[in-house]
């Protein structure tokens, strides 16, 4: 049988990092088994679902490059189908109308609470052989309940957690349609998984309690029961449940903070799954190696420094011209509109190893695009001094005299100056960097000088000399 997985987000907010991992695992498992994967939007909670959230989730998935073979399907567009199955179940006796009033239900809850028990339905309207049901009260719109088996147990072999068993007596007769006829959450999931031919359900372990209820409904419908893989939650670096407090939680916020999708995907696969001690995985390797049975049971803790490390790896690995294209929006955010892409690629190449995010890279090369440099106070205080002034003046003259502005000539001019002034290279390098970059850090001096260009270098040296006074 062909493996079919699905990702089924509820559009009540952005795509968070936990959801993205579930989506990734669903896609990988399908690809690994040469199967298919479906995107389903679980938007039946009309009050909490918004079109903006749907768009944000799809945007997040697209940015990560997670593609689905089918969908998006929207549950709100399938109400007729759910109603049809509810009617069939009422007909078959696997579901029934319940006319209990709010007061009666409240009483059941209060009684359970007083006895320190789980609140449960008392079965008043549940049909049983030989049982006479009460007369149908007037003016009450009934709910529809699933006639859950009372005896025995429901077990499933979770691919992550192993066998999980629930006693049916604990499960209660779930409401599957509200008084206005709209289907409830667990019911829609079941009908969709059945109709969409889902063979493997990958989802957060906060859904474990729903699973036996869903399995019992599937069995009542004579539908095949999929395999389940409940993935543990993600914790923050402090061991608490991951939340906004820990920084970015929406996937697109990682994009905004300058992470590459490859790094986020590579990070996410390792967050709860491993293959020996390998840390770097290409997409093809992920597809080849991933298996749900190797996913960890225990919750995984988020580790920002590891994500940064991966991001740097993927930034360095990328072709500078491609990285330059990806860098444009980050430069735009700083008010820079690069036009010469070959130049930008050179700038990227020279600086990429010195930063961990695209935001950092954009900020780092800003000095190549501004007309007025911003100076780092500390660098100025240390390096633009009375002692460095004559060095900068001499250097300016020597550089001005160069006809060729290439690495060998630039290096030669600086070396010659160390000899004539009897100084060390650092005594040239630090003041020079501060003068042309605005801070005492930059790639190799010759590379930096070439990127800044002769004219601007001389002008910036002039400004720095004047700054010293
Ligand atoms: N819509 C659910 C959620 O966003 C997932 C349900 C499922 O995967 O079965 O948590």
Candidates 184, 171, 162; CA nearest to 212 is 171
pLDDT digits (tens, 9 = 90+) for 359-370: 999 999 999 999
Helix, coil or strand: residue 374: coil
In eight-state DSSP terms, residue 152 is: S
244 is annotated as contributing to ligand binding: yes
Omega into 72 within 30° of 0, i.e. cis? yes
CB 345 within 8 A of CB 320: yes
Measured from the CA of 6, which atom of ligand 1 is nearest? 8
**Residue 77: both structure tokens together:** 């567009």
> Please, which pLDDT band fits residue 243 given cuts at 50, 70 and 90?
confident
**pLDDT number for residue 69:** 98
**pLDDT number for residue 236:** 84
pLDDT digits (tens, 9 = 90+) for 98-151: 999 999 999 999 999 999 988 889 999 999 999 999 999 999 999 999 999 999
Residue 419 a catalytic site member: no
Q: Once rounded to an integer, what is the mean pLDDT over residues 372-395? A: 97
Measuring from each residue's beta carbon to the nearest atom of ligand 1, which residues come in under 6 Å?
8-10, 42, 189, 203-204, 207
> Please, which pLDDT band fits residue 245 given cuts at 50, 70 and 90?
confident
Q: Once rounded to an integer, what is the mean pLDDT over residues 255-273? A: 97
Q: Where are the alpha helices (DSSP H) in 68-169?
A: 79-92, 102-114
What domains are there in the chain, each with its CATH number? 80-177 (3.90.800.10), 318-369 (1.10.8.70), 377-467 (1.10.10.350)
Indicate the helix (H) or strand (E) that contains 59: helix 51-64
The sign one gets for the Cα dihedral 347, 349, 355, 361 is positive
**pLDDT number for residue 118:** 86
**pLDDT number for residue 468:** 95
Q: Tell me the C-alpha distance between 8 and 214, whole Å.
A: 15
Enumerate the β-bridge partners of residue 227: 200
Measured from the CA of 214, which atom of ligand 1 is nearest? 9
Average pLDDT of the chain is 96
Q: Where are the alpha helices (DSSP H) in 157-281?
A: 185-195, 211-220, 251-256, 261-270
pLDDT digits (tens, 9 = 90+) for 415-456: 999 999 999 999 999 999 999 999 999 999 999 999 999 999
* Ligand 1: centre distance to CA 186 (Å): 10
Helix, coil or strand: residue 375: coil
**Residue 87: both structure tokens together:** 């009617």
Residue 244 clears pLDDT 80, i.e. is over it: no
Q: Report the nearest-CA residue for atom 6 of ligand 1.
A: 8
Q: Tell me the C-alpha distance between 389 and 222, whole Å.
A: 87
Enumerate the β-bridge partners of residue 73: 40
Q: Tell me the C-alpha distance between 300 and 293, whole Å.
A: 16
Residue 57 clears pLDDT 90, i.e. is over it: yes
Q: Once rounded to an integer, what is the mean pLDDT over residues 385-402? A: 98
Residue 250 clears pLDDT 70, i.e. is over it: yes
**pLDDT number for residue 248:** 64
Distant-in-sequence, close-in-space partners of 276: CB < 8 Å, separation ≥ 6: none
Per annotation, catalytic residue among 241, 244, 297, 415 = 244
Query: At CA 335, angle to CA 329 and CA 341, rounded to 5?
Result: 55
Can you give the pTM of this predicted structure? 0.93
> Please, which pLDDT band fits residue 73 given cuts at 50, 70 and 90?
very high
**pLDDT number for residue 242:** 79
> Please, which pLDDT band fits residue 469 given cuts at 50, 70 and 90?
confident
CB 48 within 8 A of CB 239: no
Instruction: Quote the longest CA-to-CA distance of the chain.
Output: 111
């Amino acid at each position: 049988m062909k493996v079919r997985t699905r990702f089924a987000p509820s559009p009540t907010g952005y795509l968070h990092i936990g959801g993205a991992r579930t989506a990734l695992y669903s896609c990988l498992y399908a690809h690994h088994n040469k199967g298919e994967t479906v995107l389903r939007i679980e938007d039946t909670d009309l009050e909490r679902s918004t079109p903006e959230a749907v768009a944000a989730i799809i945007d997040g998935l697209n940015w990560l490059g997670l593609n689905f073979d089918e969908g998006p399907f929207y549950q709100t567009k399938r109400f007729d189908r759910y109603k049809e199955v509810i009617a069939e179940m009422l007909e078959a006796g696997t579901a029934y109308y319940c006319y209990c009033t709010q007061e009666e239900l409240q009483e059941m809850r209060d009684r359970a609470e007083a006895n320190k028990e789980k609140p449960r339905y008392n079965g008043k309207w549940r049909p049983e052989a030989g049982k006479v049901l009460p007369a149908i009260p007037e003016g009450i719109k009934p709910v529809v309940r699933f006639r859950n088996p009372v005896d025995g147990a429901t077990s499933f072999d979770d691919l992550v957690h192993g066998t999980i068993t629930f006693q049916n007596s604990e499960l209660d007769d779930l409401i599957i349609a509200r008084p206005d006829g709209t289907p409830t959450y667990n019911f829609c999931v079941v009908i969709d998984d059945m109709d969409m031919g889902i063979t493997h359900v990958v989802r957060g372990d906060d859904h474990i309690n729903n699973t036996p209820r869903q399995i019992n409904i599937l069995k009542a419908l004579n539908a095949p029961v999929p395999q389940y893989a409940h993935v543990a939650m993600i914790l923050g670096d402090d061991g608490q449940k991951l939340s906004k407090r820990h920084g970015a939680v929406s996937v697109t916020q990682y994009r905004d903070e300058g992470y590459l999708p490859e790094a986020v995907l590579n990070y996410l696969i390792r967050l709860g799954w491993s293959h020996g001690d390998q840390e770097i995985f290409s997409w093809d390797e992920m597809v080849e190696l991933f298996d749900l049975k190797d996913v960890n049971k225990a919750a995984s803790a988020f580790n920002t420094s590891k994500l940064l490390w991966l991001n740097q790896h993927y930034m360095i690995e990328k072709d500078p011209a491609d990285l330059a294209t990806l860098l444009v929006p980050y430069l735009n955010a700083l008010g820079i509109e690069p036009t010469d892409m070959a130049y930008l690629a050179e700038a990227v190449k020279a600086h990429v190893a010195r930063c961990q995010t695209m935001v950092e890279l954009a900020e780092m090369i800003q000095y190549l695009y501004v007309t007025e440099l911003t100076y780092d106070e500390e660098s100025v205080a240390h390096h633009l001094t009375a002692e460095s002034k004559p060095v900068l003046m001499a250097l300016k003259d020597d550089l001005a005299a160069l006809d060729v502005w290439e690495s060998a000539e630039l290096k030669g001019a600086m070396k010659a100056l160390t000899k004539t002034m009897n100084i060390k290279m650092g005594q040239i390098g630090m003041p020079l960097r501060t003068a042309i970059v605005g801070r005492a850090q930059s790639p190799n001096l010759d590379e930096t000088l070439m990127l800044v260009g002769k004219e601007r270098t001389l002008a910036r040296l002039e400004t720095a000399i004047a700054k010293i006074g």
